[in-house]
Amino acid sequence: MSSKKIRILVAKPGLDGHDRGARVVARALRDAGFEVIYTGLHQTPEQVAETALQEDVDVVGLSILSGAHMTLVPRIKKMLLENGMSDVLLVVGGIIPEDDAEELIEGGSADRVFTPGDPLDKITGYISSRFE
Amino acid sequence: MQQLVSELLNGNRRAAARLISLVENDDPQKRELLREIYPHTGNAYVIGVTGAPGSGKSSLVDWLLKELRRDALTVGVIAVDPTSPFSGGAILGDRIRMQDHAMDQDIFIRSMGTRGSLGGLSRATREAIQVLDAFGKDIILIETVGVGQSEVDIVRTADSTLVVLTPAGGDSVQTIKAGIMEIADIFVVNKSDLPGAERTATEINMMLDMKSDAPWRPPVVPTVSVANEGIEELWKSVQDHRRYMEESGRLIDVRRERVSRELTEQVEYLVKSHIWAQVKEEIKLDDLVGKIVNREQDPYSAAGELLETIDFYGKDT
Ligand SMILES: Nc1nc2c(ncn2[C@@H]2O[C@H](COP(=O)(O)OP(=O)(O)OP(=O)(O)O)[C@@H](O)[C@H]2O)c(=O)[nH]1
Ligand SMILES: [Mg+2]
């Protein structure tokens, strides 16, 4: 009877200027059967967390090209936790050095980090695998 | 579960969000939840916004929200976008235009995919309205997909229906999708900054004047939703319509019709699930199908025989 669909918020926090990459990822996620809530550019961490709450998403995907990932990601993670959304998978995509990625994951802020070289089906595959 | 409902009634936004997911996902506890919520519903006024893809529905909702908030009304928004019939996935992008309100505690916005429903809303939209109604929202704004096979869904759901048209492409009113003229309580000619807007408005007005016997004559409101033009007038028109609905008794009538339809649907649902539960328990449907395929039986008498084996008054659902 139950017909759960995985819902993913694709958000662009921070000040970067374009969202081409995020749109491509959003489309790939839709084509993989996910429900993608897309909110456009220039989201504050507060907006991201509040949208995740109202939309009751299972995954938050952050696209960050501005270099501000080390402040944005932990901040958003903290707000999600404050909202009682500790189960939410937090995935980050962007130009993120390996050391930073490791730190984000080990610090418990992000579940997984993808970089521009990663093929799309790696992203969709990872998310699918987390909800099997 | 009771916990979730009482949190909802206490204004907890996470509870509202979770409850909408539960009804949308057809959770086994859905009916129980809706039953608990129901006594707390019936206070919200529901406004539907429909129109072709890209006509400016989300931008209009964004501006309307500003008007509503100026009147200190609390608002729930349900924005429906199409689900891909191929993947079952969807991109729900209406929120992009409503970001100014993301942090307003008195506005709750929820995006929904149609998930296979064809009428411009999703199957769970009406149930989500009930959640937001019980949540205490004064107004609930529904943005439809606008490519529904029929617009019946929104008329049956909303107390006031706004139909958004545009002058784009010089489309004459004659080419407007059949059925759309009948459902509008208010016509919005959005993108009135584009050429042809005046002609579009004039044509709609002419068509409306031809059937002048209706007790409510829908106004035609030009707007430019990217420039905040005409929005105040639009909100005034909505308020006029609401007053008409309330004072004429029409609101009570349409809500009665809605309840009567809901009751019928619920009875049909219960009968169906009651019957199928027994059919599946007692009869091997596959065997029957095999027989019918082999022409040893026909579907008409097989269905009749199936029903005879069912104990209609036996167990409860
Ligand atoms: N010129 C002009 N463009 C407008 C106006 N209102 C909206 N638009 C543009 O029309 C496009 C679609 O606007 P939306 O508000 O997203 O339209 P919608 O009906 O919600 O679209 P869907 O939800 O995809 O069906 C956007 O690019 C807007 O900038 C207007 O009054 N004038
Ligand atoms: Mg829209």
**Domain end residue (candidates: B248, B271, B291):** B248
Give the H or E element holding residue B146.
none
Place of tokens 């949190």: B7
CB contact under 8 A, B91 and A38: yes
* A5 Cβ contact partners less than 8 Å away, ≥ 6 residues apart: A33, A34, A35, B25, B88, B113, B115
Name the residue at shortest CA distance from atom 2 of ligand 1.
Answer: B191
Pick the CATH number of A7-129 from 3.40.50.280, 3.40.50.10680, 3.40.50.300, 3.40.1830.10: 3.40.50.280
Residues B83 and B208 in one domain: yes
Contacts of B83 in chain A (CB under 8 A): 35
Residues B264 and B220 in one domain: no
Domain containing B48 — which CATH number? 3.40.50.300
The domain spans of chain A are: 7-129
Beta strand residue intervals within B169-282, DSSP E: 186-189, 220-222
Q: How far is B161 from chain A (nearest CA, A)?
A: 25
Contacts of B132 in chain A (CB under 8 A): none
- ipTM of the predicted assembly exceeds 0.90: yes
Name the residue at shortest CA distance from atom 11 of ligand 1.
Answer: B54
Residues B276 and B189 in one domain: no
Average pLDDT, chain A: 93
A45 pLDDT higher than 80: yes
Residues A59/A88, Cβ–Cβ less than 8 Å: yes
Residues B172 and B54 in one domain: yes
CA distance A51 to B304: 52
- What local confidence, expressed as pLDDT, does residue B203 receive? 87
Name the residue at shortest CA distance from atom 17 of ligand 1.
Answer: B56
CA B153 to chain centre: 6
Taking alpha carbons only, the member of A25, A5, A88 closest to residue A51 is A88
Mean pLDDT of A19-23: 88
CA distance B247 to B55: 32
A93 pLDDT higher than 90: yes
CA distance A18 to A36: 18
Q: Look at residue B64 and tell me if it is in a domain.
A: yes
* Nearest-ligand number for the alpha carbon of B50: 1
Residues B180/B211, Cβ–Cβ less than 8 Å: no
- What local confidence, expressed as pLDDT, does residue B317 receive? 45
CA distance B24 to B18: 10
Q: Please work out whether the CB of residue B58 comes within 6 Å of at least one atom of ligand 1.
A: yes
CB contact under 8 A, A5 and B115: yes
**B54 Cα: distance to centroid of ligand 1 (angstroms):** 5
Q: Look at residue B110 and tell me if it is in a domain.
A: yes
CB contact under 8 A, B113 and A38: no
Residues B105 and B227 in one domain: yes
CA distance B214 to B209: 10
Higher pLDDT, B115 or A127: A127
Percent of chain B whose predicted confidence (pLDDT) is above 70: 91
Q: Are strands B107-113 and B220-222 parallel, antiparallel or unpaired?
A: unpaired
Q: Which of B57, B59, B151 to mutate to test the pocket of ligand 1 (most atoms within 8 A of CB)?
A: B59
- What local confidence, expressed as pLDDT, does residue A41 receive? 86
> How many Å from the N-terminal Cα to the C-terminal Cα in chain A?
18
CB contact under 8 A, B92 and A35: yes
Residues A53/B118, Cβ–Cβ less than 8 Å: no
Q: Which two tokens stand for residue A55?
A: 């939309």
> What is the pLDDT confidence band of residue A1, given thresholds at 50, 70 and 90?
very low
Residue ranges of chain B with per-residue pLDDT less than 70? 1, 147-150, 168-179, 212, 281-283, 312-317
Q: Please work out whether the CB of residue B194 comes within 6 Å of at least one atom of ligand 1.
A: yes
Number of domains in chain B: 2
Average pLDDT, chain B: 89
| Low-confidence winner among A94-98, A101-105, B151-155, B256-260 (lowest mean pLDDT) | B151-155
Which residues span the domain enclosing B279? 260-309
